[in-house]
Structure 1
Amino acid sequence: MTAIRFIRIIFIALASVLAFSGAAFAASKEKIERRTNEALSEFREDIGGANEVLAKAKGVLVFPLIRKGGIGIGGEYGQGALRIGGNTVDYYSTAAASIGLQFGGQSRRQIIVFLDQDALDKFRSSQGWEIGVDASVAVVTLGAGGAIDTTQLNQPIVAFVFDNKGLMYNLSLEGSKISKIHEDD
């Protein structure tokens, strides 16, 4: 095991313990629902073609707020909801760690769209799902005219990452670990 992988595992474990150590750290379901609705509304309003993508979705995993920060060693964490047919069916968290030249913090929204039923079923039955290991996720960019580049929608799972300035570019989600939040967490 490389030193980087070891540090990544330690950081994710530490972030997970801190995130789930008590009710004070966990966002309420109501807050997650409110933020999820806001993120989906913003996505539909600001991104051309968003409604068409969401209409094709077998499931939509929305992380309305992912916070990232670090000095040399960084980490990110967020909570969100999985919606099927417009209804929330489960809550999830995402966490990742990184090493390298970094200083400061940022926040973003992330929407993962499952366009294939098998991909959604595999995700839901997993005990922890890591992007790039358990599945490939194509990060979608905007095409001409500020609309979704539909040539990237031939993948079973696509992701949209945006902030208050719009869709973000050149962003990799690999290494992000997504886990179901259980009622007793």
Structure 2
Amino acid sequence: MKFPKDFYKPVLMLAFLVFASCGTSKTNSGDLVADSQEARTTITQRYPDMADLFQNSHGYAIFPNAGKGAYIIGGASGNGAVYENGRLIGYADLKQVDIGLQAGGKAFVEVLFFQTQAAMNKFKEGTYELSGNVSAVILEEGVSRDVEFNDGIAVITMPKAGAMAGISVGGQRFSFQPLK
């Protein structure tokens, strides 16, 4: 497929803006923990079945203020708090790059649930990747779905704001920093 010459300049400019905006927007750890606790409360109030996942999973990483923007090339990022057996053990960063027929922007909450100690340990090794074929359960008002674990990890997302349309392929990368 051949694109017109005028096509590349706006796409490259948008790609630059998307990647530049995917940098870490660190808030202080107190704000991040408070936002994470608030997101967990919101999820469990709106979707009571999710309370079991928070209680019964070995651990979870919650990204309360993740954001994504895209125009053909997309990027997402967010900061999160990581809990093991109900106790805060560190922080994590989420980065995503994808490509496809997509446009728009959105804010969302994402939670990774770790079913086993082995899955939790793999995440805590420092850099963890989810491939593009791992599907997240998208929580929608009035809808409760069964969450399935794949290799000991389940992913849920809850939209917060924005509009996004399209089909894309990509993956997510996470880095973990333990509490000092």
TM bucket, shorter chain: 0.7 to 0.9
Indicate conservation of the 8 Å contact 2:112/2:156, yes or no. Answer: yes
Amino acid at match of 1:128: T
- 1:102-121 to structure 2, matched below 5 A, reads 102-121=102-121
Cα distance change on mapping 1:173 and 1:78 into 2, 3 Å: farther
Q: Looking at CA atoms only, which structure, 1 or 2, has the larger radius of gyration? A: 2
What's the C-alpha RMSD, in Å, of the aligned pairs?
Answer: 3.4
Higher fraction of helix: 1
| 1:156 is aligned to 2:158 | no
Q: Say if 2:11 is the partner of 1:35.
A: no
Deviations 1:25-67 (A, max 9, x none): 4221111111101110011101131121212110111000111
Q: Which runs of 5+ in 2 are unaligned?
A: 1-11, 162-166
CA contact (8 A) 1:107 1:163 kept: yes
Offset from partner CA, 1:154-182 (integer Å, 9 cap, x none): 861111111248xxxxx999610001247
Please name the residue that 2:175 is paired with. 179
Q: TM-score, normalised by structure 2?
A: 0.73
Q: After the TM superposition, list the runs of 4 or more consecutive aligned residues in structure 1 that deviate by more than 6 angstroms.
A: none
TM-score by length of 1: 0.71
Q: Please identify which structure carries the higher strand content.
A: 2
- Tell me how far 1:140 sits from its aligned partner: 3.3
* 2:98 alignment partner in structure 1: 98
The aligned residue for residue 87 of structure 1 is 87
2:65 is equivalent to residue 65 of structure 1: yes
Structure 1 unaligned blocks of 5 or more: 1-6, 166-170
Q: Is the contact between residue 59 and residue 82 of structure 2 (CA under 8 Å) also seen in structure 1?
A: yes
Q: What's the counterpart of residue 143 of structure 2?
A: 146
